[in-house]
Homo-oligomer: A and B are copies of this chain.
């Protein structure tokens, strides 16, 4: 039966990270528990919602953990409740001891709390991914790619494949990531420093957002392993599993236009603020759009809601080329696209009022491109 003592704050941090995989209202009740595995090497905390699973390892060698293991074993505890209890303990260390009938006694300072646990055999097996031949990426770069693409994935289950981000490695070195909800698209390409085996997978965008939250900035690199329908992100202490989406991702390359009639460079922030004003009124219109009018190098935004009122404003530009154009679109798509752009300036290229327009950051015109489809209005 388990018996160990550990630093409360470090334990709490590891529990909180693991909890990101645990949903309180899971259809499978046992998945609302956290699994605690104690071996001679350390403690493994395991959480899963059936889509993603996190294994978080606390080593006896981690000096900040102050981990002393007296006796080994496994147990399941109600995750939310257990974490609240640990967080409320008075002392900086806690003693965790399993007693009869799967009960756990926590002692910290003068407080003694007894909790009912569950048989670890009830917990489903986390699928194993053969941990060989990983792709190695800088965590920072992977998180940036996720930030630049995942928001553009669909949130609707009508076409499940579009709720994921398409990751494709070709020539062992060229990584392309794409997300689209069919109204807008975001694509980022990078060349890897270390080569790897080619792959073509679709990762749920929700899993990627959780990955970004779990892999903190102090984790420098992440190893990526693929199995049939699973993927494993691994750092020294954390294994993050996600299922992959099955099916063929649509061919998005053919969507990207290359010839344009109007090319306008904006200050990213100013354009975003202008669209945020426009959205306040476009939300009250029937088709929810803002109209951009380009004429003689001047760009103006218009929204007219018969109930609420209207916005008319000139948007400062850095450069502008091309003839007259009027185009309508959902300002939320442009706002979200601009949020994903770090660059101070952004170039938007148009073809016509009915064809998608592209956005590229001014400081990275080759690798990062976004597409937004306009709305036909009459």
A positions within 8 Å CB-CB of B: 78, 81, 84-85, 88-90, 103, 109-116, 270, 273-274, 276-277, 280-281, 307-316
Does the CB pair A311–B111 fall under 8 Å? yes
Q: Which of B88, B281, B309, B316 contacts A276 (CB 8 A)?
A: B88
Indicate how many identical chains form the complex.
2
- Give the residues in chain B near A280, CB-CB below 8 Å: 81, 84-85, 88
Does the CB pair A313–B273 fall under 8 Å? no
Q: How far is the CB of A263 from chain B (nearest CB, A)?
A: 21
A273 CA / B109 CA spacing, docked (Å): 12
Q: Take A85-B277, A111-B274 as given contacts and tell me if A116 and B311 are in contact as well, using a CB distance cutoff of 8 Å.
A: no
Q: Take A88-B277, A89-B277, A273-B88 as given contacts and tell me if A111 and B313 are in contact as well, using a CB distance cutoff of 8 Å.
A: yes
Does the CB pair A110–B314 fall under 8 Å? yes
Q: How far is the CB of A370 from chain B (nearest CB, A)?
A: 23
- Give the residues in chain B near A315, CB-CB below 8 Å: 110
Does the CB pair A113–B276 fall under 8 Å? no
A-B contact pairs, 8 of them (CB 8 A): A84-B280, A85-B277, A90-B270, A112-B312, A112-B313, A113-B311, A116-B308, A116-B309
Does the CB pair B113–A310 fall under 8 Å? yes
A90 CA / B84 CA spacing, docked (Å): 44
Taking A90-B277, A113-B311 as given, write out 10 further A-B residue pairs in contact, using a Cβ cutoff of 8 Å, ordered by the A residue number. A81-B280, A84-B280, A103-B309, A110-B314, A111-B277, A112-B313, A113-B309, A113-B313, A114-B309, A116-B307
In the complex, the chain B residue whose C-beta lies closest to that of A314 is B110
A311 CA / B89 CA spacing, docked (Å): 11
- Give the residues in chain B near A110, CB-CB below 8 Å: 313-316
A88 CA / B276 CA spacing, docked (Å): 7
Q: How far is the CB of A65 from chain B (nearest CB, A)?
A: 23
Q: How far is the CB of A353 from chain B (nearest CB, A)?
A: 23
Q: Which of B85, B90, B114 contacts A273 (CB 8 A)?
A: B90
Q: How far is the CB of A270 from chain B (nearest CB, A)?
A: 8
Q: How far is the CB of A92 from chain B (nearest CB, A)?
A: 14
Closest CB pairs A-B (n = 5):
A111-B313, A115-B309, A110-B314, A88-B277, A114-B310
